[in-house]
Amino acid sequence: MTKEQLIELPKIELHCHLDGSLSREFVEKRLGRPVKQEELSVSDDCTSLAEYLEKFDLPIKCIMDEEGLEGAGYDVLRSMSRENVCYAEIRFAPLFSETEDLKCDRIIEAVLRGLERGKKDFGVDFGLITCAMRHHSDEENMRMIHTAREYLGNGVCAADLAGAEAAYPMSEFMNLFSEVKRLGMPFTLHAGECGNAQNIADAIAVGAARVGHGIAMRGNSDLINTALAKGTGIEMCPISNMQTKAVSNMKEYPIREFLDAGLKVTINTDNRTVSNTDLTKELGFIQENYGIADEEIITMMKNAVDVAFAEDDVKERLWKYYE
Ligand SMILES: [Zn+2]
């Protein structure tokens, strides 16, 4: 597929962080001043997680009130519609926006209002994933999850665990996600991005339908077989993974291995603005560097429909794009 054909292809994105994906126009409007692209996006030769994380400072400031949260939901769907994303799952950590006057329920509602408005104006279907954070206590995370659970099926589609994986292994969150499972809330978990294979094994064991990144599964046939048997979705984010050094060099990136093994690989941006990317660019990148064929791109879109946390009627509509 040419770049034009990749833009035209109806696309699905399952791993996209709200704060890392706000457009420069939106950030400028919210901050009331011009912002340089390099304040928001890492340089092409970014190889450090520290540089990567710095770029979240400004966007976070834009989503500390309801107007910002609503505008952010709308803004991300607008960006996605420009490259024909037809269904997106967008994730964010509600507790980051909490203040004395603004609690979790109103935070989630504000983002959902923006997403609903975006869906209406741009025709992009969506699901909202609420992220528990690794550095937050179980108690805080559980409070957020209980609130988010109230919106499940009404905009919220799943939960996630995000944050510093290397410092906080998955084993510390088994109780939390056993409880999420008991509540009937589906979840994906960041695992094997900058942490080890055990985090992926634990994530699958506790009931994650998908894992974010999953890079540490590379070369681990036992774990790959487990993920195959469970039908675990793998949310790969190639350009972000290069920038944060989830692999030490481009050759080590396991997308070819995972596809050949038959894993349910999906391609995602992670953070559109911070990583200076979009889904078209990600697909171009894997075509060029890993010899990913057109049929494999379609397979990955079908995988995304398969493992999406969407209602059946939405999935039925999405399948039709790839028949
Ligand atoms: Zn992520």
Residues of the chain with pLDDT > 70: what percent? Answer: 100
Band (pLDDT 50/70/90 cuts) for residue 124 is very high
> pLDDT tens digits for 184-218?
999 999 999 988 999 999 999 999 999 999 999 99
The pLDDT of residue 44 = 77
Please give the distance, rounded to the nearest whole angstrom, from the Cα atom of residue 76 to the centre of ligand 1.
15
- Those residues whose beta carbon sits under 5 angstroms from the ion ligand 1 are 270
Looking at 193, 235, 282, 296, which residue is catalytic?
A: 193
Ligand 1 mean position, distance from CA 212 (Å): 6
Q: What are the angstrom distances between the C-alpha of 238 and each of 219, 250, 274? A: 17, 10, 13
Token pair 């290069």 is found at: 242
Average pLDDT of the chain, as a whole number: 96
Measured in Å, residue 20 CA sits from the centre of ligand 1 at: 9
The closest of 266, 286, 152 to 210, measured between CA atoms, is 266
Q: Which CATH superfamily is domain 11-317 in?
A: Metal-dependent hydrolases (3.20.20.140)
The structural domains of the chain, with segments of one domain joined by +, span 11-317
Confidence band (pLDDT; 50, 70, 90) for 107?
very high
Sign of CA dihedral 285, 286, 290, 292: negative
Strand order in the sheet with 210-213: 188-191, 210-213, 233-236, 264-267
How many whole angstroms from 66 Cα to the centroid of ligand 1? 23
Q: What is the CA(275)–ligand 1 centre distance, in A?
A: 11
To the query of whether residue 13 is one of the catalytic residues in this protein, the response is no
User: For residue 73, what are the CA distances in angstroms to 65, 116, 182?
Assistant: 13, 8, 29
The number of beta carbons lying within 10 Å of the beta carbon of residue 302 is 18
Report pTM: 0.97
Residue-wise pLDDT for 260-290, tens only, equals: 999 999 999 999 999 999 999 999 999 999 9
Q: What is the pLDDT of residue 49?
A: 76
Determine the residue type at 97. Answer: S
pLDDT of residue 80: 98
Distance 162 CA to ligand 1 centre (A): 7
Q: What is the pLDDT of residue 45?
A: 80
Q: 17: CA distance to ligand 1 center in Å?
A: 6
- Which residues 6+ apart lie within 8 Å of 77 measured at CB? 88, 90, 114, 115, 118, 119, 121, 122, 124, 126
